[in-house]
């Protein structure tokens, strides 16, 4: 009975930025649990490559090109997909991180970071949530960050941190707004994971990895599958009484 609650057979999941990094692993996790997966990617080739990869694993997958910062395009995608077949799970994973020193941060770095990391979760949550609420069921999982709670060293990208903090509060407020409709809204707040997003930080500073290992109680970075497992839990009926939860997956970093 308990293992069955983690199964997603017959459900349909949309994963934004699902073509690489943490998003690709989330697409695999929900697909392995039985969901059909829509990879909503900015770059068409990345989406198509991910679709082929998931299909080779026996997962029902389809890539769709989208820029999640465009509210009209998001509304259109939600309408089209729901017309074909209801979307049960939305994972707002698309994100960017641009590291700059505070006083040298260009205006557009702030604007773009807020658009992709925070505004898009609102647009997607509102548009997909609308269809879910009508049907009386659904699960939305936002990918926040431990940077939404704490200032990190040695890099302290303020727009990124502000965007993730906003996303955490959006998660809680959306959860309360939708709680009576049968739609749950939660977030996962990962610690550092080695992906294309964090590779430049590691490459730019030979001490970066050792510094992180030292500051993390578990002494290592996260693997993408460790983030995807947390998403799978929140997306599934195993988390049927969780809404407004921010599930931190950071090897203990924020517990010091
Ligand atoms: P990656 O840079 O590897 O992947 C980011 C994904 O987001 C890509 O698929 C990218 O698409 C997509 N994306 C970016 N902008 C848009 C857009 N406008 N529209 C649609 N898709 C877009 O990052 P990670 O896998 O590392 O990060 C995934 C999430 O996890 C992010 O939200 C990030 O903030 C969060 N996170 C990551 C941590 C880490 O240490 N890596 C730690 C904590 C949180 P494309 O390939 O087409 O560019």
In a domain? residue 61: yes
Prediction ipTM score: 0.99
How many folded domains does the chain comprise? 1
Any domain includes 254: no
What is the CB neighbour count within 10 angstroms for residue 9? 9
What separation in Å is there between the alpha carbon of 219 and the centre of ligand 1?
24
Residue 256 lies in a domain: no
Picking from 136, 127, 133, the residue whose alpha carbon sits closest to that of residue 14 is: 127
- What mean pLDDT is predicted for residues 235-239? 98
Spatial distance between the Cα atoms of 212 and 193, rounded to a whole number of angstroms: 11
Q: Is the pLDDT score of 65 beyond 90?
A: yes
Domain of residue 144, residue span? 3-249
For residue 122, tell me if it sits in a domain. Answer: yes
- Is residue 17 in contact with ligand 1, taking CB distance under 6 Å? yes
- Burial annotation 223-237 (CB, 10 A radius, 16+ → b, else e): ebebbbbbbbbbbbe
Q: Is it the case that residue 256 has pLDDT exceeding 90?
A: no
Any domain includes 45: yes
Instruction: Determine how many CB atoms are found less than 10 A away from the CB of residue 48.
Output: 15
Residues 252 and 256: their CA atoms lie apart, in Å, by 7
Give the number of residues written for the chain.
Answer: 256
Cα 1 to middle of ligand 1, angstroms: 34
Q: Please check whether residue 255 lies inside any domain of the structure.
A: no
- State the first-to-last Cα distance of the chain, in angstroms, to the nearest integer: 37
The pLDDT tens digits of the residues spanning 184-210 come to 999 999 999 999 999 888 888 888 889
**Does some domain include residue 226?**
yes
Question: Once rounded to an integer, what is the mean pLDDT over residues 140-164?
Answer: 94
- Confidence bin at 109 (pLDDT 50/70/90): very high
Has residue 157 been placed in a domain?
yes
Is 160 considered catalytic here? yes
User: For ligand 1, atom 8, which residue shows the shortest CA distance?
Assistant: 17
Predicted local distance difference test score (pLDDT) of residue 208: 86
User: Of all protein residues, whose CA lies closest to atom 19 belonging to ligand 1?
Assistant: 67
Q: Whose CA is nearest to atom 4 of ligand 1?
A: 21
Residue 192 near ligand 1, beta carbon < 6 Å? yes
Computed over every residue of the chain, the mean pLDDT equals 96
Identify the pLDDT of residue 202. 85
Say which CATH number the domain at 223 has: 3.40.50.720
The DSSP code sequence of 184-211 is EEEEEEE--B-STTTHHHHHH-TTHHHH
pLDDT at 154: 78
């Amino acid at each position: 009975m308990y293992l069955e609650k983690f199964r997603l057979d017959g459900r349909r999941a949309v994963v934004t930025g699902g073509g690489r990094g943490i998003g690709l692993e989330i697409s695999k996790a929900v697909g392995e649990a039985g969901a059909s997966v829509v990879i909503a990617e900015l770059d068409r080739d990345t989406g198509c490559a991910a679709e082929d990869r998931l299909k080779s694993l026996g997962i029902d997958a389809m890539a769709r090109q989208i820029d999640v910062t465009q509210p009209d395009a998001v509304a259109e995608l939600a309408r089209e997909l729901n017309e074909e077949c209801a979307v049960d799970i939305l994972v707002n994973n698309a994100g960017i991180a641009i590291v700059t020193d505070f006083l040298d941060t260009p205006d557009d770095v702030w604007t773009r970071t807020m658009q992709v990391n925070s505004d898009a979760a609102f647009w997607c949550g509102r548009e997909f949530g609308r269809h879910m609420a009508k049907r009386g069921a659904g699960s939305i999982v936002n990918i926040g960050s431990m940077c939404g709670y704490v200032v990190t060293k040695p890099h302290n990208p303020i727009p990124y941190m502000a965007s993730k903090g906003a996303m955490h509060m959006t998660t809680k407020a959306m959860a309360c707004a939708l709680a009576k409709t049968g739609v749950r809204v939660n977030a996962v707040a990962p610690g550092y994971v080695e992906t294309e997003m964090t590779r430049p930080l590691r490459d730019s500073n030979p001490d970066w990895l050792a510094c992180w290992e030292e500051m993390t109680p578990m002494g290592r970075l996260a693997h993408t599958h460790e983030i995807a497992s947390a998403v799978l839990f929140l997306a599934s009926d195993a988390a049927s009484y969780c809404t407004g939860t921010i599930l931190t997956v950071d090897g203990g970093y924020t517990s010091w």
